[in-house]
Structure 1
Amino acid sequence: MRIIAGRWRGVPLANVGRGDAQAHLRPTPDRVRESLFSMLTHRGVIDGAHVLDLFAGTGALGLEALSRGAAHVTFAENGRVGQKLIAENIKKLNAGDQTKLLRLDATKPGELGPTPFNLIFLDPPYGKGMGEKALAAIRTHCADDALIVWEENAAMDPPAGYALLDRRRFGSTHVTLLETA
């Protein structure tokens, strides 16, 4: 796993192999991230973005956004393995001044800071209904023009407060793009 493009292009990230089922780590493959960021670049939402990476895992999505011009990324990860990997990746990229790492339950995040997020990555454990709960919990932290990227094992319908923009399938991964409504 590596950073695909931007200022850290080609830099390898902490290795988790095929993932860590016990920690619910399922890294987004490079090919899917490349396609996803192509869509986001086309929409012009990365440059200067304040990003929230929920269920962050290794932090690859948030760090890719940072590499491509996002202003700041807040990582929310509940697991110790994920926390360790994210911290290692932040250190490797010397990105501590542009990141915040929080250990919290993404379905009950509480206070995330004063700046609203305009790009949110949501990659919950598949099929457990945690994405819907997290979206309900963070709605007040979203900017008016926020774009949400939701990865799941099925196409997802937008919950209250969000509108559907696009749906794509990449093998067994379904990406649903939402905006705040």
Structure 2
Amino acid sequence: MKKHAVRIVGGDYRKTPIPVVDVPGLRPTPDRVRETLFNWLYYFWDGDYAQKRVLDLFSGTGALGFEAASRGAAHVQMVESHPAAVAALRALRSRLKADNVRIHAGDATVALARMTDGSYDLIMLDPPFGQGWLDRLWTRIPAVLTPNGLLYIESEAAVSPPDGFELLRQGKAGHVHFHLLRFAAMQKTVNNPEIS
């Protein structure tokens, strides 16, 4: 199936095309879904991204992470395992001179296991569908989020958040369900080095 092109919809890099590499299961988040998500974030963050730290797991094309960087997030950490996708992410970061973006080539569960300092204000999860990723990740996410941090999820079905998470917003586009949750549990303070 031929992939359509996507573009950054807002911020400093607005209208920048994002290459969509031929990777099995890659589903770039559609423009209108990203626009909805960032409208939600604008509301909950009062339009202020300047101090926000964002983790984009399963980055794929990087559409979500580069959108956050475009809008002024202080730090965006991308995690992607497919070599072709990683190469495309690094090429786009270089082209944009996006110094607030870091890219880690590796597995999402391994990356999360190394990030237990509770320093991210937003985690964006758009994992491959039908592989049970959310069930594997729920218990790891609290250690990475700040108190009252936000969690964005795309999934093949509506998500019922576990204890400690509050559903703030949800929507559906085609076969994709998308959700914004808030982490309401107490933070554990652990100092671990950040991945790079």
User: Do they fold alike, i.e. is TM over 0.5?
Assistant: yes
**Equivalences, count:** 176
Corresponding residue SS for 2:147: strand
Within a 5 Å distance, the mapping from 1:23-62 to structure 2 comes to 24-44=25-45, 47-48=49-50, 49-62=52-65
Per-residue Cα deviation, 1:46-102 (whole angstroms, up to 9, x for no partner): 61210000111111101101111211100011111221121122112111x212111
Aligned to 2:188: none
TM-score by length of 1: 0.88
Q: 1:128 to 1:41 in 2, by over 3 A?
A: same
CA distance, structure 1, for counterparts of residue 57 and residue 149 of structure 2 = 14
Q: 2:8 aligns with which of 3, 8, 12?
A: 3
CA distance, structure 2, for counterparts of residue 128 and residue 15 of structure 1 = 22
Aligned to 1:149: 152
Q: Does 1:120 align with 2:129?
A: no
Corresponding residue SS for 2:114: coil
| Contact 1:145–1:179, Cα closer than 8 Å, also in 2 | yes
Aligned to 1:108: 110
Q: 1:112 to 1:102 in 2, by over 3 A?
A: farther
CA distance, structure 1, for counterparts of residue 116 and residue 73 of structure 2 = 17
Q: 1:14 aligns with which of 12, 19, 32?
A: 19
Q: Cα distance, 1:115 vs. partner?
A: 6.6
Q: Does 1:159 align with 2:159?
A: no
Whichever residue aligns with residue 174 of structure 2, its letter is G
Corresponding residue SS for 2:143: helix
Aligned to 2:101: 99
Q: 1:158 to 1:108 in 2, by over 3 A?
A: farther
Whichever residue aligns with residue 148 of structure 1, its letter is L
Whichever residue aligns with residue 41 of structure 1, its letter is Y
CA distance, structure 2, for counterparts of residue 7 and residue 149 of structure 1 = 22
Per-residue Cα deviation, 1:4-58 (whole angstroms, up to 9, x for no partner): 1111111112233xx532xx31111112211221222122276121000011111
TM-score by length of 2: 0.82
| Contact 1:77–1:83, Cα closer than 8 Å, also in 2 | yes
Larger Rg: 2
CA distance, structure 2, for counterparts of residue 113 and residue 180 of structure 1 = 15
Per-residue Cα deviation, 1:111-159 (whole angstroms, up to 9, x for no partner): 2385700011000111221023223223211100210110011111113
**Runs of at least 4 residues off by over 4 Å:** none
Q: 2:141 aligns with which of 135, 138, 141?
A: 138
Q: 1:114 to 1:100 in 2, by over 3 A?
A: farther
CA distance, structure 1, for counterparts of residue 96 and residue 117 of structure 2 = 25
Q: Give the gaps of 5 or more residues in structure 2.
A: 1-5, 185-196
